[in-house]
Structure 1
């Protein structure tokens, strides 16, 4: 297989290199013109992905679309959730997040409602790797599930869902469930939404047992905070050394302890989209540029590491398609 070395950085005690193994669209054509907010997950039977698609964001026809990755190719996507109500009214759906429970079901979290300041949390379950899905379950009031980025399993078996709200400015919070979404608890807001305006956090795991969040903000930089009690309380948000143009990011801690983040390294616009890596969660170095077409939108990434060690990234390509990238780091 041919590899393309995107960048080599040897400024640390180890060399960091990113090799792209695949960079392709999940689909070439779809029964809708616009898509956004992809999510990717590894199941026992392989990779799966989801995103929202419809006429345009906020349009009532927007539903959640889903695909399996089989033998190196994405299958034709199918709609697995829509916002049709019992009275026939239809609401748009938003921000799907997939989570594979170890040894159990695949959960799809998503949001439903006319706008981000008025939406509510929903979930569906699949017990066959995404071939069939349960009836939709509405989450309790003030519980949204993971708002954009993946949930993480804590060492005590609690599922931590990084979340945020937009109904009283942009504020972060954390949600917890110990029984796979049947009962919930949550923190209060982690920021005031005025001095620091932030949404859509991702969770990283530090060697000393602390958690780190990184998130989108309106403050010009990716913000970060730290928790010493498994997400129940957090330090004050502070800027990282990474720029943010008020656009979604995602991050993951690799098996070897390094951290990967996918983001737009500018203060305005949503191009380019890049990959950075860190050994400590604080000092980041870019190792790859995935897209760099001026004036276009490449946004809302999702990133995971699969059991074979590869890093998989999906992101929105010009609001028209979803890209899938496989990296070796």
Structure 2
């Protein structure tokens, strides 16, 4: 009887030791698996960043965002301290920090470019500077991106659709105009899980959309427009003038990213054939352009023995391709 407590204590010790050994074996298996797949670890970085971005959209208030960031950073710090060389703890710590970074990234973008929407529909007469002019041939409209002048009651950027006959000939980015329009907040998703234009407009800096109710009057400005918007418009007009008809609309889409010149029949034909996605500038187009530029520049430089022997022509070709890809991405707004 005197030995009963010590026997029970010994049995508990044995059970705890077995459990500890079982956990240790599982940990060794996990560590061995992670070690064998260590080259795949970086592929989980976008997943962790995406989790932080999803958390920003899911949590309703800044208090929740702050709690998420602090919680992830605290978890990452704790796991980093307790890692003791273990790969699992290190990966979880890095993932927690990346999840916090994802939330901070989308939060920062919302603060930098996010535009609060118009509070309620309104009919207004505005003086504005034109940011972009996009013909929408398929819909028989012209889309104007406008920056209202001296109107603190309006968003800093609005989008107005007008009939082609309402728009003065030669209107370009950089011109100053006056127009009477009916403005409304960007429309939310019509169905749960559907395309949410209000969300896209918020991150594009568009606070209101609307329709012109009268003639757009040019009040001044430049003839060709500033920056990439003017270059994009001039290039689109040049391509459309050289290639009239359906071919021109598709060529303009590839050259500038503007699909508004593609007719309704051609757009429907592309959708039915499963090729409509090719009209949207994506990584496929940018990669093809970069590869073509690298190949062309490399072969041209290789024609000169002096250049080929004295200069790193492959590096020069790669830098040229990268610069071309960046320029094409900015020109076509494929960010």
Which is higher, the Rg of structure 1 or of structure 2? 2
- Relative contact order higher in (CA < 8 Å, ≥ 6 apart): 1
Greater helix share, structure number = 2
TM-score by length of 2: 0.22
